[in-house]
Chain A
């Protein structure tokens, strides 16, 4: 595997389900990010991890719970979501958040549909 991978690519869940999104980066980076991409809105930054420590939480509802066990893996645990949470969830990585140009490398995303 190369670059940034995300699984699953598609997910349909009910409002009472619990599911997790997984992201893995094979670039040797130290920062990882979760973004939400909805139609007609700019990418919204959700969480930032630097060296597996959370450095940014953009007022994200607690029904989204991130986990970063090491610099290569990032999870987003989902529970009791709302239909408005349906979106494309993108994971990204960079050398280090806030250093240099912060050029980011994205995974293909998970298309989430909440029924």
Chain B
């Protein structure tokens, strides 16, 4: 069982569609981060959510942290081919003393023109 479960594992959509991907856990996190990894590159930090219920917007991307701080979602409006990539959520679990990050397996998003 993964500490951070991401769904769906793979998503293929057409340009202009909206989508939501999820990151769930049974553990409480002090914060969660979202990264995007493009093919052949390392992950790039998109956002950190800290407060339960928090909503952060980054252009067409909307990130939400669950009230109980156990889950998070990423919503993309009017997806573009440039949004293609692996979306990873990560958090520092209490078991590690909040010192290291644990990553989910990611959601692979493919946006076709």
Do A and B share a complex? yes
Residues of chain A at the chain B interface (Cβ within 8 Å): 4, 6, 40-43, 45, 48, 55-56, 90-92, 97-98, 101-109
Q: Interface extent on B, as a size class?
A: 20 to 34
Q: Please determine whether A102 and B45 come into contact, CB atoms closer than 8 angstroms.
A: no
Q: How far is the CB of A39 from chain B (nearest CB, A)?
A: 10
Stretch from B13-21, B64-72, B74-82, B101-109 at the A interface = B101-109
A6, A104, A107: which contacts B45 (Cβ < 8 A)?
A: A104
Interfacial chain A residues near B42, Cβ < 8 Å: 4, 6, 90-92, 106-109
Interfacial chain A residues near B102, Cβ < 8 Å: 42, 45
Interfacial chain B residues near A109, Cβ < 8 Å: 40-42
A43 to B2, CA, bound (A): 12
Return the CB mask of B85-103 against A: 1 if under 8 Å, else 0.
0001010100001111111
Among B15-43, those with CB < 8 Å from A are: 31, 33, 35, 40-43
Q: How far is the CB of B108 from chain A (nearest CB, A)?
A: 10
In the complex, whether B50 has a CB less than 8 A from a CB of chain A is yes
Q: Please determine whether B103 and A43 come into contact, CB atoms closer than 8 angstroms.
A: yes
Residues of chain B at the chain A interface (Cβ within 8 Å): 2, 4, 31, 33, 35, 40-45, 48, 50, 88, 90, 92, 97-106
Closest 9 CB pairs of A and B: A106-B42, A98-B99, A43-B103, A42-B103, A42-B105, A101-B48, A101-B31, A106-B43, A108-B41
Q: Please determine whether A97 and B100 come into contact, CB atoms closer than 8 angstroms.
A: yes
Q: Please determine whether A98 and B105 come into contact, CB atoms closer than 8 angstroms.
A: no
Q: Please determine whether A102 and B100 come into contact, CB atoms closer than 8 angstroms.
A: yes
A6 to B88, CA, bound (A): 21
Assuming the contacts A41-B105, A42-B105, asked whether A102 and B41 have C-beta atoms less than 8 A apart, the reply is no
